[in-house]
Structure 1
């Protein structure tokens, strides 16, 4: 069993010092990871970077980075940067969030969450693998953009930096049975919420 500490949503201005102390104590006790969250207040990556700068061995993860808030390319760039800065300690937790935040805050259509998540993760992995320039034409993401208003100047690109790890672990936040099934299929880990391990069989038949 591996233990992690989740800092959730908090006032990072007032609680930053205490959070650093907790992260350092978790590292001393042998915890595996520390995680930060975001909704529609502070973002999850900025405080995570601060915690990473004040620890040496503790893995740091996003729980979660909201997919509607960032293009897949921006997420891959952020993941590659943090993994380089932390010496390979970054864990990429992704989630779609809910319709209220997706449409009410980010102004994006909620759409088809399963198909959108599958495409998103595929693009992120392709970028980090750095095997070829990125080209993806799916139902939800069109890269390079080929819409009727495209200039035609966008060409496939390859991430400039060489990621420390092409296989940065990707975790997916999932609740419903189909979402959990997708996480098991395409992700390296699962970020559940409102979950009791004692009810696993009742909820998911596992």
Structure 2
């Protein structure tokens, strides 16, 4: 499986630095290429990577994802430049738009349409990370220096005081066809969730066909290793049901829309209805085996090795494995 790099999601390890660094060390020793952190409305995505950078020497360190509306583009650039310096160039920046419930309900800022926001955010990031010139940008969402309502008029263009890192890879967590097309045109890679190795063309085939050489595709993939296939499926069903059913409203849920584009229209609607109706157990049970097997790696190692054949036949460059149990870190690495 040398053509696809192996990443490890550190999701679920919060507040315990000993566990965090121990898992990172194990991942490096086991041969993982990278480790990745994310954020919702708890732990942030960047701080844990600083701890990991201090105890590793080879692992790439990625955010999958950091929420754009939570930070100005310049603040994200400052954090990225700091982590590049601390890690000696191992940082990979993954960003995403999040959703209206989190953006407005937690961060307390307006939710902008993802495509224009991401395009402008990337433009400001590129300039700030390059560190070659003073930062100036005028867009419909971001203006640097800011001169709009409430400004003092005293802002002036600045340039970072840290060494520039223009080669920092920037990956975008896009799901909608238009956002993926914009990501292919403007970013260095795509960070999808609930990727289907058999049906991705139905969702994004036209956009990804235009991806340039070197474009990265790094999906986060749920995994559960065990002899009891049904039990393994049941371990990952809650995560799939959460995203399809609960990560958004009935009218706006990017994950439900994605699974529908894969062809699971009725299944997505049923999972959503049950989840939003308060029947989370029913929503989990409504996730069919076929969908679990398509989106996740489940069962005995030999079966997972067979599953990986479908993942080779596509554009994936890194698989960010999110195991249901950290005892699976080494067994999964053995397949590489």
Q: TM-score category by the smaller chain? A: over 0.9
- Residues 73-92 of structure 1 correspond to what in structure 2 (within 5 A)? 73-92=74-93
> Quick check: 1:36–1:45 contact (8 Å CA) kept in 2?
yes
Secondary structure at the residue paired with 1:166?
coil
CA RMSD of aligned residues (A): 1.3
The residue that corresponds to 2:66 in the other structure is 65
Report whether the alignment pairs 1:2 with 2:5: yes
Describe the SS at the equivalent of 2:26: helix
- The separation in 1 between residues aligned to 2:18 and 2:71, in whole angstroms, is 28
Corresponding residue number in structure 2 for 1:113? 114
Q: Which has the higher helix share?
A: 2
CA distance in 1, matches of 2:162, 2:19: 34
Distance in structure 1 (CA, Å) of the matches to 2:149 and 2:72: 20
Asked if 1:192 is matched to 2:180, the reply is: no
Structure 2 residue aligned with 1:176: 176
Query: Structure 1 stretches (4+) deviating beyond 4 angstroms?
Result: none
Select between 48-57 and 33-42 the one with higher mean Cα deviation.
48-57
Structure 2 equivalent of residue 12 of structure 1 = 14
User: What's the secondary structure of 1:156's corresponding residue?
Assistant: coil
Q: Whole-Å Cα distance in 1 between the matches of residues 71 and 143 of structure 2?
A: 15
2:204 maps to what in 1? Answer: 204
Cα distance between partner residues in 2 of 1:27 and 1:136: 40
Measured after TM superposition, the shift of residue 39 of structure 1 is 0.3
Moved more, 179-188 or 77-86: 179-188
User: What residue in structure 1 maps to residue 131 of structure 2?
Assistant: 130
How far apart are the structure 2 equivalents of 1:11 and 1:201?
33
User: Does the 8 A contact of 2:13 with 2:19 survive in 1?
Assistant: no
Q: Report the Cα distance in structure 2 between the residues aligned to 1:35 and 1:188, rounded to whole angstroms.
A: 17
Structure with the bigger RCO (C-alpha within 8 Å, sep 6+) is 2
Q: 2:141 is matched with which residue?
A: 140
CA contact (8 A) 1:144 1:154 kept: yes
Aligned equivalents of 2:59 and 2:112: distance in 1? 36
Contact 2:41/2:102 (<8 A) preserved: yes
Query: 1:135-185 CA deviation, whole Å, 9 max, x = no partner?
Result: 11110011111114322211111111113x222000100111111111111
CA distance in 2, matches of 1:77, 1:205: 35
Equivalent residue number for residue 152 of structure 2: 151
How far residue 24 of structure 1 moved from its aligned partner, in angstroms, is: 1.3
Unmatched tracts of structure 2, length 5 or more: 207-336
Deviations along 1:68-95, one digit per CA (max 9) or x if unpaired, are 1100000000000000100000000000
CA distance in structure 1 between the aligned counterparts of 2:148 and 2:203, rounded to whole angstroms? 42
Q: Does the 8 Å CA contact 1:125/1:167 hold for their aligned counterparts?
A: no
Distance 1:144 1:166 in 2: 21
- C-alpha displacement at 1:11, in angstroms? 4.7
SS in 1 for 2:190: strand
1:68–1:96 contact (8 Å) kept in structure 2: yes
Q: How far has the Cα of 1:28 moved from its partner?
A: 1.6
2:93 aligned with 1:95, yes or no? no
